[in-house]
Structure 1
Amino acid sequence: MKNLTTQLCVAALTTAFATEAMATEWNVSLWGKRRAFTEHVHKLAELVEEKTDGEFTMNISYGGLSKNTENLDGISIFAFEMAQFCAGYHPDKNRAITVLELPFMGVNTLEEEVAVAQAVYDNPAVAKEMEQWGARLLMPTPMPQYNLVGTGEPRDTLASFDGMRVRATGGIGRAFEAVGAVPTSMTASEVYQAMEAGVIDTASFAQHAHLSFGTINEADWWTANLNPGTVNCPVVVNIDAYEALSDAEREALESSVEPAIAHYLDNYGELLARWDSVLDEKGVQKVMISDEELAKFKETAGDPIHTAWIEEMAAQGLPAQELYDLVQDTLAETRASN
């Protein structure tokens, strides 16, 4: 009887250890706090856990694993399995996807943003560049066109942008620089304090970030239609972690991407629908830029920056024209299908 009891105990322990060994747990590095910008990550985690009966889970951390500007580095050394980052934080490390951050590319909706981002992510040259960081692009974080909030008198002409101190990264920063503004690429979490202290006059964000990082609380005005561009902030996974998944786990992850993005779009749509009421509540003036000024801005900071990017990236060995054309062609196809 004693031997039987011992055997049963050993069997139970073996089963327990095997079950524990089979479970997969990923650490996910985000920043700030839970907001519209991260809703697809939470939905992805929820769906994956459901599909695997709790055997594949994700621990989502906001700043506890890495600084936002170091998330790609963390992926490269396998410090965590999944992360979100923005291309403008380190354009030299992710040159190919910066095509999605060029100003005045003509993307008008979040659905169009998803389409062009996924097309670029699927390009072999893009995947190859990410591989050097041990990263696999999993899904985009579609964001609307960035617009300014600012203090003092509204800036509604190109002339008024001259000397303007603006928080802007990537291609948006280059666009403002082209018309005489002084861009700085400080991280999102630093922007409110910079506005409060008068270090910057304006901040360029999507709507969710103006809310989440408090810049709307310092603002006197907001540009409703400047729309110079947006930033690209993919969610990536460590390649070794991805390849270590079982077939079932990998299928659960991949099949959850589309519904996670759909959830994100629904959630963000609700924010956009109530944005005017947010402005009224905060006492922020809605500023409309004239068509004439918008045309001048695009002429100065659109095509010239596109041409310069293509030449610069091609000189570095990237298929720059191919990537640029891919965005334009995908945009046209997406609109035709709608």
Structure 2
Amino acid sequence: MKHLTVAALATTFATEAMATEWNVSVWGSRRAFTEHIHKLADLVAEKTNGEFTMNISYGGLSKNTENLDGISIGAFEMAQFCAGYHADKNRAITVLELPFLGVRNLDEEVAVSHAIYAHPAVAEEMAQWNAKMLMTSPMPQYNLVGTGNPRDKLAEFDGMRVRATGGIGKAFTAVGAVPTSVTSSEAYQAMESGVVDTVAFAQHAHLSFGTINQATWWTENLNPGTVNCPVVVNIDAYEALTDAERAALDSSVDEAIAYYLENYGELLKKWDSILAEKGVKKVVISDEQLAEFKKVGGEPIHKAWIADMTAQGLPAQELYDLVFSTLGKVRAGN
């Protein structure tokens, strides 16, 4: 009888050892920006009959600015990060954060992101951090919320303290604003304490991080660019998966992204009513002012990025051209 018990225990341990659990590091709270990760976890668990599960942690595993470091040392198996948090560690994908690329919607954002992620230069750079690109977290064009009098002219951006990262921050610098790259979690406090006058975010972030509650106005159509935030997996963890587990993960990406787009679309439909409910005024920037902003904060920054990244040994022109050729293909297909 005793032998049977030992055998039964051994079988139990063997079965438990076969199950795979991944820790996933994200930040903030569950929101439109993280819905594809939850959907991915559901799909993977379903396809593997619960043998491959994901434990999604909001800030419990790492700071958002250190998620790539955590992946590199294997502190967790999957993470989300934004390119602007550490542009020197993920230089190739910062092409996607250049201002005024002209991406019109989330479908186009997914297409250009995944095209860039698939480029060998990106895979090579990410491999230095033991990271493999899995999928993007597509965001609409950023817009400002602000306090005080609405700013609808470029001259009024001079001296404006704005929470903005990456290429958007550079675009604002070009028109005399003063960008600060406090993390998304710190943006509300920065606004409340007067450290910044304005915050550049996509809609979901203005909601989930509360900056909309501080705002008196919102720029409806400034659209200077967006931030690129990939979901990556630790290469060793990915390679240690069984063939069935890897297939379950890889085959779930498109469905997880589709779910994200549907969910985000619902939020965008409600946006006008949210602004009305909170008493936030919509500010429309004139075509003339937008054209001036693009001229000063767009093309010169694109050229500087290409020159800088080429000097660092990256195929910058190739990556830049890939963005526009991908947009062309997507639009031709529609």
Which TM bucket (shorter chain)?
A: over 0.9
Q: What is the Cα deviation at residue 290 of structure 1?
A: 0.2
Q: 1:285 aligns with which of 259, 281, 284?
A: 281
The equivalent residue for 1:103 is: 99
Give deviations 1:305-336, integer Å, cap 9, x for gaps: 00000000000000000000000000010010
The equivalent residue for 1:266 is: 262
The answer on 1:57 being equivalent to 2:53 is: yes
* Cα distance between partner residues in 2 of 1:155 and 1:317: 40
The answer on 1:145 being equivalent to 2:141 is: yes
The answer on 1:314 being equivalent to 2:310 is: yes
Q: What is the Cα deviation at residue 9 of structure 1?
A: 1.7
* Cα distance between partner residues in 1 of 2:195 and 2:300: 29
Q: Which secondary structure state, in structure 1, belongs to the residue aligned with residue 326 of structure 2?
A: helix
User: What code does the residue aligned with 2:41 have?
Assistant: A
* Cα distance between partner residues in 1 of 2:99 and 2:183: 19
Give deviations 1:275-318, integer Å, cap 9, x for gaps: 00000000000000000000000000111000000000000000
The equivalent residue for 2:172 is: 176
Give deviations 1:226-276, integer Å, cap 9, x for gaps: 000000000000000000000000000001101000000000000000100
Number of residue pairs aligned between Structure 1 and Structure 2: 334
* Cα distance between partner residues in 2 of 1:112 and 1:20: 42
* Cα distance between partner residues in 1 of 2:9 and 2:330: 55
The equivalent residue for 2:154 is: 158
The answer on 1:118 being equivalent to 2:114 is: yes
Q: Which secondary structure state, in structure 2, belongs to the residue aligned with residue 289 of structure 1?
A: coil
Q: 1:303 aligns with which of 299, 303, 315?
A: 299
* Cα distance between partner residues in 2 of 1:221 and 1:115: 31
Q: Which ranges of structure 2 fall in alignment gaps of 5 or more residues?
A: none
TM-score normalised by the chain length of structure 1: 0.98
Q: What is the Cα deviation at residue 11 of structure 1?
A: 2.4
The equivalent residue for 1:254 is: 250
The equivalent residue for 1:328 is: 324
User: What code does the residue aligned with 2:51 have?
Assistant: E
* Cα distance between partner residues in 1 of 2:15 and 2:166: 46
Q: Which secondary structure state, in structure 2, belongs to the residue aligned with residue 8 of structure 1?
A: helix
The equivalent residue for 2:181 is: 185
Q: Which secondary structure state, in structure 1, belongs to the residue aligned with residue 273 of structure 2?
A: helix
Identity of aligned residues (%): 78
Q: What is the Cα deviation at residue 10 of structure 1?
A: 2.6
The equivalent residue for 2:224 is: 228
TM-score normalised by the chain length of structure 2: 0.99
Q: What is the Cα deviation at residue 6 of structure 1?
A: 3.0
Structure 1: 4+ residue segments shifted above 3 A = none
* Cα distance between partner residues in 2 of 1:95 and 1:66: 22
Q: Which ranges of structure 1 fall in alignment gaps of 5 or more residues?
A: none
Alignment of 1:31-42 (within 5 A): 31-42=27-38
Q: What is the Cα deviation at residue 12 of structure 1?
A: 1.1
The answer on 1:87 being equivalent to 2:83 is: yes
* Cα distance between partner residues in 2 of 1:177 and 1:302: 11
Give deviations 1:102-138, integer Å, cap 9, x for gaps: 0000101000000000000000000000000000000
* Cα distance between partner residues in 1 of 2:281 and 2:313: 46
The equivalent residue for 1:25 is: 21
* Cα distance between partner residues in 1 of 2:185 and 2:125: 28
* Cα distance between partner residues in 2 of 1:9 and 1:193: 58
User: What code does the residue aligned with 1:84 have?
Assistant: Q
* Cα distance between partner residues in 2 of 1:94 and 1:163: 30
* Cα distance between partner residues in 1 of 2:129 and 2:22: 18
Q: Which secondary structure state, in structure 2, belongs to the residue aligned with residue 263 of structure 1?
A: helix
The equivalent residue for 2:2 is: 6
Q: What is the Cα deviation at residue 14 of structure 1?
A: 1.8
* Cα distance between partner residues in 2 of 1:51 and 1:8: 33
User: What code does the residue aligned with 2:204 have?
Assistant: H
Give deviations 1:145-185, integer Å, cap 9, x for gaps: 00000000001011000000000000000000000000000
Q: Which secondary structure state, in structure 2, belongs to the residue aligned with residue 54 of structure 1?
A: coil
